[in-house]
Structure 1
Amino acid sequence: MKFTATTRDVQGTSASRRLRRAGRVPAIVYGGNAEPTVISLDHNQIFHDLRKEAFHASILNMDLDGKVESVLLRAVQWHPYKPLVLHVDFQRVVASQALTTKVPLNFINGDLSPAVKLHGQVISHVLTELEITCLPADLPVNIQVDLGALDANANLHLDAISMPAGVQYAGNEENPLLAAALPVGGGSAGAEEGDGAEGEESAE
């Protein structure tokens, strides 16, 4: 995915306000083998880009004043109640350096699982993203979690899925709970895990 950015010389609160009034978003790009650079983005473009899942978990091509750099989205600051992007952070990506980031989990086949199909339960997605480490070339857009074999009142932990090639889990919890099958109307198959999962989501 590609987006366009422009370097900016003036910093500070007043300068940022002027940028926003002009339909621009103040941002910064840091890391790699260069000094941090303050930049600005077109608000409409970045607003729509941020609505795409892939923009949050992909290596992005940033066209900065005609020079393309590989970057990763790191942080977004939103207005507290308006649909406005206030500030964005990007990190430069170096092909030979491993990076640590979070990628979304893509749950599949939940409606085919025994828990749902035979027992009428719902599947709670306890985690929606996973912290990983890998080289930039191995960064997945998402990690697939197959729920097709999940039985009634069962839990699915990280060790039950296959990670993409070159990708390693980088979170603090040793074997996190990813999903749990729960009875409709209450109960918690994962209560002993202490995860506090809620069964608000039915299987996808």
Structure 2
Amino acid sequence: MRHKLRSLLVLSMVVASLITTSSASQAAVPPSPSGAGHAAGFGELPSKAGQLAATGQLATGSKGVCLQAHVADLGWGQWFCGDINMYVGTVGQNKSIEALKIQFYGVEGYGEYCAVAHVRNIGWYNPASCATPGTDQIVTVGSTGYGRPMEAVAIWFQSGRGTIDGWSHVQNIGWQYHPPLSSNEQPIIGSVGKGLNLEAISIGIN
């Protein structure tokens, strides 16, 4: 009887361990509308892609976003290029994004795109920063050197030809999806009015 009880106890401990490990691995990446996995975002862009992003010389025939985040206590990370399944920032470190650089590629026909950041204790940090796809122009929003966390970013195409969606990892909330809005609206990725840090972000172009 004691032997059976001991065996059952060991079996239950193994099952609990497997469940915990599975849950931890799932929590390490954000969810996705397509169910695809996300790569770790901060500082993992191959150097060649980062150089191309910084000079606007990304390969034609593809559509996506290049992002670079300035994170509290860490500074600027490397460029990271991809689609909505990739993100920049940090998760599980309680560190806010303070500034963000954005470069779209493969959407030259969409025209100029703009962005503006919502910053702690300031609100919308105007004026908006705008750039033209296919050039070396890069949108930069937020601030550095002031210790001001970003809480959200609004991004849109001036022409209204494309729509944008994204994921944000927000302090005390976690990952949340922001669906595309109509072409004449400005999607807000993050949170406003809650005083919560934007910790990681991904952006998609439709």
Q: Pick the TM interval, shorter chain.
A: under 0.3
Q: TM-score, normalised by structure 1?
A: 0.27
The structure in which a higher percent of residues are strand is 1
Q: TM-score, normalised by structure 2?
A: 0.27
